[in-house]
Structure 1
Amino acid sequence: MRILILGAGAVGGYFGGRLAEAGADATFFVRPARARLLASRGLRIDSPAGSLVRDVKSISDPGALAPFDLVLLTCKAYDLDASLNDIAHAVGPCTTILPLLNGLAHMEKIAARFPQARLWGGVARISAALDDDGAIRHADSFARIDFGARDGRADALADQLAELYAKTPVIAAHNPNILREMWDKLVFLATLAGMNTLMRALIADIMATPAGERLINQMLSECASVARAEGFDFDEARVAQHGDSLTKRAANMKSSMLHDIEHGAPTEGEHILGDLHARARQHGVSAPLLEIALTHVRAYEVRRARR
């Protein structure tokens, strides 16, 4: 199985690096500067689950690509259009595409661009960052990836991918209910990022205010209501579990959306909050707090563009 990983940042570098560690035929498509760094220093992962320094194959010229068996997309949502252009020559009629982006809005766009390919759903869970020196810093030992056909059918290639990851510290699951898994993460992430950016604070700081817990639960309830309207079951027990995770495990976690705002960078606001709000309107679901959070991020993007 020939695998192309688009990007060698925190997500692509970690999950792609572990594939290389397992002996997979893995190639990274990266910008020239990143390719030079990989060539001179190797792919470096600093992780409590096991650090890694490894020489890897990389390509920077889109014209040099030929069809791969599997393409992992690990770009940011705002880079998706350019990324799909870059990998065009890597996608053939026998190619499977595994996007590890947050949210769901990218699925229709990828399917429309590459109708000849198989498109899996995917969810990556990891707390990692790309350091200034090019190394990937893994915050803890946890890293999980779920993937599978959107219709839940068995897939031999997915089983092969799971077997490769079984040789590494990554928890990998060939998930027959991957769309449900993607919605599960979207509800959690939209609540976390929406509250982080709206209040410009961590969940722990918001919880310390008189109305903080009530507003967090309201945002969570709105996001879960959208998922229900889309046909995905979110019972009260699941909502409570998400609430518990937000106020405990994620209490001091900074969403990438807040990090981007603090650094004057583009955000995935439209891809996460905007898509969820559009679905709420489509189904007639009341989501006032989600709309306020989205407007806050949109106003930031307007101000950023004006600069």
Structure 2
Amino acid sequence: MRILVVGAGAVGGYFGGRMALAGQNVTFLVREARAAQLAADGLVIKSPRGDATLADVKTVLTSQIDSPYDLVLLSCKAYDLDSAMDAFAPAVGPSTTILPMLNGMRHLDLLRARFGNANVLGGVCLIAATLDASRAIVQMTDMHAIVFGELDGAKSARVEAIAAALRTGGFDVDATDAIVQQMWEKWVFLATLAGSTCLFRANVGNILAAPGGEAAIRALFDECGAVAAAYGHAVRASFAERSRAMLFASGSSLTASMLRDIENGLRTEGDHVLGDLLKRRPANAAVGSAATTPTLLELAYTHVKAYEARHGR
């Protein structure tokens, strides 16, 4: 299986690197500067699961793609999706499968509109990773998983084949018949975590230690969950229990990557994680105590947009 990983950042670089180290035919679609850096230093992974360096990194520029790939693994930031699609389009043929691991749901509409419904799977990744100053991939916890499947819930030969290839990388792989449900659930959790930690500029433990902090997180989780329920994907009890265990852990240092982006003066996925969820909220959804009272989700989104306005992003 010829696998094209779009980018060699924290997420794509980690999962693609693990598969390449296991002998899979993995190529990274990168820009010239990243290709030069990888050629000089290799792809470096620092991880609780074991450090590793991929010395011979196969890279390709968009202009060098001359034939379709079997699998395109897509893990770019949501705001880079348009440029990413332009970049990997030459790698997509009639039998190419695109596995996106982006947050939210809007990317599915864009990918299917451009490349066709049959070419796109649903997927989520569960990992906390970043790039350090030397562009090495640093995994911050030992969690590393990809969950994916057909959007219609069908079991297919291509899903089985992709799952087999992914599993060689040593990370957790779940080929599921309920990927849309799991994408909605991750979105609810992420919007709650990002909304609360960004709005209060603090980690979960700090928020819980503040007056009204627990109630605020709980209300935001319920508000986000109501949107998922309106689309027929109410958060399941087992997922809600796991989410609350993380969101209400006293002393927790957990934050969202969106808060780290704000603290570092970077662009955020506020429009895609918070804004798009607001757009999908049913017109009759419960709002504040009066028409002029914003909900917590609205406040969180306004907070992120005010940050972007201030920084001109």
On whether the aligned pair clears a TM of 0.5, the verdict is: yes
**Structure 1 position 104, deviation (Å):** 1.1
Scaled by the length of structure 2, the TM-score of the pair is 0.92
What CA distance in whole angstroms lies between the structure 2 residues aligned with 1:305 and 1:258? 17
Describe the SS at the equivalent of 2:227.
helix
Number of the residue aligned with 1:290: 297
Aligned to 2:256: 255
Question: Residue type matched to 2:180 in 1?
Answer: L
Pairing 1:20–2:20 present: yes
Deviation at 1:248, TM superposition (A): 2.3
| C-alpha distance in 2 between matches for 1:10 and 1:249 | 28
Give 1:303's aligned residue: 310
Q: Where in structure 2 are the equivalents of 1:220-299 lying within 5 Å?
A: 220-234=221-235, 238-248=239-249, 251-282=252-283, 284-286=285-287, 288-299=295-306
Give the residue type in structure 1 aligned to 2:230: A
Letter in 2 for 1:296: H
Relative to structure 1, the CA distance from residue 130 to residue 12 in structure 2 (aligned partners, 3 Å threshold; closer, same or farther) is: same
Q: Report the residue type matching 2:16 in the other structure.
A: G
Aligned amino acid, residue 84 of structure 1: M
Q: Determine if contact 1:269/1:298 at 8 Å carries over to the other structure.
A: yes
Note if 1:34 corresponds to 2:41: no
- C-alpha distance in 1 between matches for 2:259 and 2:212: 20
Residue 49 of structure 1 aligns to a residue whose secondary structure is coil
Segment drifting more, 39-48 vs 72-81? 39-48
RMSD: 1.9
Q: Alpha-carbon deviation of 1:61?
A: 3.2
Give me the identity figure in percent: 46
Gaps of 5+ in 2: 289-294
Report how many aligned residue pairs link the two structures: 306
Alignment of 1:105-184 (within 5 A): 105-115=106-116, 118-184=119-185
Q: Distance in 2 between matches of 1:190 and 1:62?
A: 37
Please give the alpha-carbon distance, in whole angstroms, between the structure 2 residues aligned to 1:161 and 1:190: 29
In 2, Cα distance between equivalents of 1:250 and 1:115: 46
Secondary structure in 2 matching 1:280: coil
Deviations 1:77-117 (A, max 9, x none): 11111111111101111111011111111110111111275
1:267 to partner: Cα distance: 0.5
Quick check: 1:260–1:267 contact (8 Å CA) kept in 2? yes
> Does the 8 Å CA contact 2:227/2:282 hold for their aligned counterparts?
no
